[in-house]
Amino acid sequence: MKRLALGLGVAAIAGAGLAFVLTAPRPVAAERLEAIAATGGDAAAGETMFWAGGCASCHAAPGAEGDAKLVLSGGVKLKSDFGTFIAPNISPDPQAGIGEWSISDFANAMLAGVSPDGSHYYPAFPYGSYTRMTDGDIADLFAFMKTLPESKVASLPHEIGFPFNIRRSLGGWKLLFFTDQPRVQLASDDPQIKRGQYLVEGPGHCGECHTPRNPIGGFVSNAWLSGAQNPEGEGVIPNLTPGGKSISSWSTSDIAYYLESGFTPDFDSVGGSMVDVQKNMAKLKSDDRDAIAAYLKALPERPNGWE
Amino acid sequence: MKFRTLFAAALIGAAAFAPAIAADEPQVVRQEMMKKVGGATGAMAKMVKGEVDYDAAAALAALTTISEVAATFGDYFPEGSETGMDSEAAPAIWTDMDGFKAKLAAFKADADAGVAAAPADLDGLKAVFGPLTKNCGSCHETYRLKKS
């Protein structure tokens, strides 16, 4: 009996130790960080990634329009089943924002979801998508963000209850769901479709809303972009695959025109949180909107059961 | 035999009445109104995109249609019409009726400005089409909810 208790005790300690090791935040490998720093970064090129990534949709002040979108003072609230996340100030202000960050700090945030002080970020910040971004695009985006106005607005703490307020537990979430692998295997090697895949699965982070999630916030497998309940409340997020009712009848040029203008083929308009996303998409080069459309048309058909 | 006749009569009666009743529902009226706006917008967008030649009369007709819809659209959101008939009206319309009406007023003002301008050429249409259609997304962002 004593031996059993001792055995259980040892197992518990070993288990706790293993969990501690497994949930540790893991930054980007040193060699890659060096390679990213070495690319230098082109601010003009980074603007494309800024709009593709939708940074301003969460990090500009709530309701900001026009040039105010370039002031990343934070404050937008993202409601979820786990609580309310409040986007922080990521302007170049040295105190209130990320002005003191190195390119490696930025790369660790974007590609590994790890903060400069070595803790996990909540995946409300969509690093689960951004992790697919190239070294060059990370460096370019960082260079562009350095050119933006500084804001002194203080970041607010997230409104998250127990147990989700324990950041270490996100290590478990990452173990289960965090991957830099493609979300779908496509038969085609068409460079346009590949570009679309990169934009949608990487910076564009479309799947964060358009893919259903399980109760602990991971994507349901084999349901990529098949639509979901609106995480912010009532209503639904449309199915983007050719197997759904939402846009399966649209041509590639219909999809590209929607992203450019906000009009559906029937001249209904974009609505809900997609209004802001569409404004971002309108700032991309037309080749990139065409690539996104080509990728969506190449997706496997996935009905979602509620359409 | 009698039963069959009654049944047939009931069917005919239902067929005659059901559409009439449904068409009067505010949910249906406002959906049809939005379809009119979509049609008018599409007619102008085809000109703006260069898919069809500019037609001043057709452009003015489209702008007039939109202005007319905008004038009365807000009358079709009475209490009790929040849901049903595949309505995609967001609850925010009723919790923030003033905000909704303000969006509608801005929409009507831009449509009226378009009618008053009566654009004579494509550049004239482009000058009113852009500001006018910004209202679509601006309102649908908050007051329209996709349910399917």
Would you say domain A191-298 falls under CATH 1.10.8?
Answer: no
Side-chain-facing half-sphere of A243: CA atoms under 13 Å? 14
pTM above 0.80, yes or no: yes
Contacts with B47 (C-beta within 8 Å, 6 or more apart), sequence order: B53, B54, B55, B58, B59, B122, B125
The shortest C-alpha distance from A44 to chain B (Å) reads 27
A278 contacts B137? CB cut-off 8 A: yes
Chain A interface test: which of B136, B142, B143, B147 (most A C-beta within 10 Å): B136
Q: What are phi and psi of A289, to 5 degrees?
A: -65, -40
- State the sign of the Cα–Cα–Cα–Cα dihedral A108, A112, A115, A117: negative
Chain A residue whose CA is closest to B41: A267
Q: Where are the alpha helices (DSSP H) in A79-152?
A: 103-112, 127-130, 135-146
B38 contacts A234? CB cut-off 8 A: no
ipTM: 0.84
Domain ranges of chain A: 27-177, 191-298
Give the model confidence (pLDDT) of B24-36 as tens digits. 899 999 999 999 9
Quote the crossing angle between the two packed helices A103-112 and A135-146, to the nearest 10°: 120
Amino acid at position B108, single letter: K
Strand order through the sheet with A83-86: A77-80, A83-86, A159-160
Chain B residues near residue A234 by CB distance under 8 angstroms: 90-91, 145, 147
Helix H or strand E encompassing A77:
strand A77-80
- Whether the Cβ atoms of residue A307 and residue A249 lie closer than 8 Å to each other: no
Q: Where are the alpha helices (DSSP H) in A147-261?
A: 170-177, 191-201, 207-210, 252-261
pLDDT along chain B (148 residues), means of 10: 54 49 86 97 96 97 98 96 93 96 97 97 97 96 88
Give the model confidence (pLDDT) of A251-300 as tens digits. 999 999 999 999 999 999 999 999 999 999 999 999 999 999 999 999 99
A231: contact with B, CB 8 A cutoff: no
Q: Is residue B68 exposed (0-12), middle (13-18) or buried (19+ Cβ within 10 Å)?
A: middle
